[in-house]
Amino acid sequence: MLTLKTINDNPEEVILKLAKKHFDAKELVYKVLDEDKRRKETQSELDGLLSEVNSKSKSIGALMKEGKKEEAESQRLFVQEVKVRIQMLEGTLKDSERELQEMLVLMPNLPADIVPEGRAAEDNIEVKTGGEVPGLSEDALPHWDLAKKYDLIDFELGVKISGAGFPVYKGKGARLQRALINFFLDKARDAGYLEVQPPYVVNAASGYGTGQLPDKEGQMYHATADDLYLIPTAEVPVTNIYRDTILEEKELPIKNTAYSACFRREAGSYGKDVRGLNRLHQFDKVEIVRIDTPEHSYESLKEMIAHVESLVTELELPWRILRLCGGDMSFTSALTYDFEVYSAAQKRWLEVSSVSNFESYQANRLKCRYRTSDKKTQLVHTLNGSALALPRIVAALLENNQKPDGIHIPKALVPYTGFEIID
């Protein structure tokens, strides 16, 4: 959530920057400014009256002691009248604060200066590539056919049990899943991340803290009886560990990693790139989360990008990094880099990771601050990234490594799978 200070300091800059995200903020910004002026005026009047009531209340006792009963009674009546006004102002102030909050949550985060202009994925900028695209034979199979051929994943059984987008992994397919999870967690631990195991459901306050709520796109599954939400990513519970917290500067950066199942309704995406593992409602992912100072957060972002790059390189996958344009960024992000791997049988790039700096946007919602060396408190910066999401990694691994004798496992994974080939 944008701070009122940010909007008050330079409203025109806020409007201009949000236009890069194709969000017309002009009307909303000036409504916020008007409401904030009302709030300040109300607060000022309230503070003045409270001070006056306090002063006159103290004087009533003194007047009574001096025998000035008539004057004391006059003061008492005045105080009573003012208290009525105070009650009204307190109500007005609460209403104003609620109005401000409701308006502020409608505004996305400001994009960083280096975010390119653009409306959609085709406007993203490729910043780095690596790996080699394998030369497959003309009869190479896509991963959904390979999964059936080697009995790795049963999509139809998932439909029977739950519905489309909930596959059942079997045999070496299940072992490959577990191997990837452990591989990613071990690599994160080696990079200095503390592993946590979070809940898979969160309350509304947690969803609000990281910006998933209000759920404008209907992407979250909601357990209505208990008012809990299935997590779309481990980012939500892990980042919320630090909600309503004041950290010490010496503790930063905080580095956490977590494996979780992730649940996404993917509303509005039906019929769009949904074959096989390309788009699921439930999938596995290892997440990395950082809490850092504003001065160091972009260095942290570089380190996170380098970490994800090392993972796709060790998996021997062809990869590229994209800097997302304003129109393709998430609501909460200030700067995002996507990692894509090439799926050779499908002949297309698949997104497997997003690494983002949210600056203070989430921290303001979370009320997560740190105490500087001079004992002042200020908002932290939050960052997160997929390291990695499994479904499309599995798709690319199966397709890219298919050979006449079976599917070969990358060397880095063999200690985790316990087998070198799927045949």
DSSP for 346-405, please give it.
TTEEEEEEEEEE-TTHHHHHHTEEEE-TTS-EEE-EEEEEEEEEHHHHHHHHHHHTEETT
Report the C-alpha gap between 152 and 160 in whole angstroms. 17
Report the C-alpha gap between 419 and 174 in whole angstroms. 13
Question: What's the whole-model pTM score?
Answer: 0.92
The yes-or-no verdict on residue 62 having pLDDT over 90 is no
Which has the closest alpha carbon to 357: 244, 250, 237, 235? 235
The yes-or-no verdict on residue 201 having pLDDT over 80 is yes
> Per-residue pLDDT tens for 356-403?
999 999 999 999 999 998 999 999 999 999 999 999 999 999 999 999
Cβ pair 251, 233 in contact under 8 A: no
Domain 4-104 has CATH 1.10.287: yes
Q: Which helix (DSSP H) or strand (DSSP E) does residue 97 occupy?
A: helix 69-104
How far, in Å, are 141, 170, 191, 311, 403 from residue 399 at the CA level? 7, 18, 29, 18, 9
Residue with tokens 């007005």: 92
Report the C-alpha gap between 279 and 143 in whole angstroms. 13
| CA-CA-CA-CA torsion sign (202, 395, 279, 333) | positive
Report the C-alpha gap between 68 and 61 in whole angstroms. 10
Determine the length of the chain: 423
Report the C-alpha gap between 281 and 9 in whole angstroms. 42
Q: Where in the chain is the domain with CATH 1.10.287?
A: 4-104
Q: Which residues, 6 or more positions from 352, have their beta carbon under 8 angstroms from its beta carbon?
A: 312, 339, 340, 341, 386, 388, 389, 392, 393, 396
Q: Return the higher-pLDDT residue of 245 and 66.
A: 245
Mark residue 37 as left, alpha or beta (left: phi above 0; alpha: psi -120 to 50; beta: remaining): alpha
Encoded amino acid at 235, one letter: E
Q: Per CATH, the architecture of 121-422 is what?
A: 2-Layer Sandwich (3.30)
When pLDDT is cut at 50, 70 and 90, the band that residue 73 belongs to is low
| Mean pLDDT value across residues 185-211 | 97
> Per-residue pLDDT tens for 99-155?
999 999 999 999 999 999 999 999 999 999 999 999 999 899 999 999 999 999 999
Which has the closest alpha carbon to 230: 256, 194, 266, 254? 266
Report the C-alpha gap between 69 and 63 in whole angstroms. 7
Which has the closest alpha carbon to 285: 362, 181, 167? 181
Q: Return the higher-pLDDT residue of 60 and 230.
A: 230
Please state, for a pLDDT cut of 70, what percent of the chain lies above it: 96
The yes-or-no verdict on residue 58 having pLDDT over 80 is no
What is the pLDDT at residue 269?
Answer: 59
What is the pLDDT at residue 56?
Answer: 75
The yes-or-no verdict on residue 422 having pLDDT over 90 is yes
Across all residues in the chain, what is the average pLDDT?
94
What is the pLDDT at residue 74?
Answer: 75
What is the pLDDT at residue 54?
Answer: 80
Q: Where in the chain is the domain with CATH 3.30.930.10?
A: 121-422
The yes-or-no verdict on residue 63 having pLDDT over 70 is no
